[in-house]
Amino acid sequence: MRLVVREDPRAKQVTVYLSYRVGATDEPAGKTGLAELAARLSLMARHGGAGAQTLEARLEAADVTSRNTVTYDDTELWSTLAQARFARAVELEAQRMSEPLAHVTEEDFRRVRARQMDDLWARYEAQGTGPSRRWLHEKLLAGHPYGRPVGGTPESLEHLTLEDVQSFVKANYTPAHAVLVVSGPVPLADAKFEVARAFSGALGVGSDKRIPPVARIPPPAPEEAPGDSPMEVVRGSVKVPRLHFLLTVPGRYSGKHAEGMFAMEAIKSWMGANLKRDEYALGNSYTTTYQELDGLTVIDCAVDLMRHVREEEARGLATNMRGTLESFGERMLEGMSGREAGPSASFQAEQGGRVSYNHTTADQLRRQMDQELRTQSRLGSAVNIARTLRATGRVDILRFQEEQVNRALTYGVMSPYLRQYFRAERVRTMLVLP
pLDDT tens profile 249-300: 999 999 898 888 888 888 988 998 899 888 899 988 899 999 999 999 999 9
What integer pLDDT is reported at residue 378 of this predicted model?
61
Tens-place pLDDT, residues 288-343: 999 999 999 999 999 999 999 999 999 999 999 988 888 776 766 665 554 444 45
- Decide: 102 and 19 in contact? Cβ < 8 Å: no
Q: Which domains does the chain have, with CATH numbers?
A: 2-203 (3.30.830.10), 232-433 (3.30.830.10)
How many whole angstroms separate alpha carbon 69 and alpha carbon 342? 41
User: What is the gyration radius of the CA atoms in the chain, in angstroms?
Assistant: 24
What integer pLDDT is reported at residue 130 of this predicted model?
54
Tens-place pLDDT, residues 128-137: 555 667 788 9
Residue 411 has pLDDT above 60, yes or no: yes
Which residue intervals of 291-396 are DSSP H helices? 311-335, 345-350, 359-379, 382-392
Q: Is 308 exposed, middle or buried (0-12, 13-18, 19+ CB in 10 A)?
A: exposed
Q: Is 264 exposed, middle or buried (0-12, 13-18, 19+ CB in 10 A)?
A: buried
CA distances (Å), origin 95, targets 98, 159, 222, 245, 396: 5, 29, 39, 45, 30
What integer pLDDT is reported at residue 383 of this predicted model?
85
Instruction: Kindly report the number of other CB atoms within 10 A of residue 242's CB atom.
Output: 22
Local structure of 125: helix, strand or coil: helix
HSE value, Cβ hemisphere, 13 Å, CA-based, for 213: 18
What integer pLDDT is reported at residue 357 of this predicted model?
45
Count of residues for the chain? 434
User: What is the arithmetic mean of pLDDT over 50-69?
Assistant: 95
**How remote is the C-alpha of 384 from its chain's centroid?**
9
Tens-place pLDDT, residues 349-373: 555 554 444 455 566 666 776 776 6
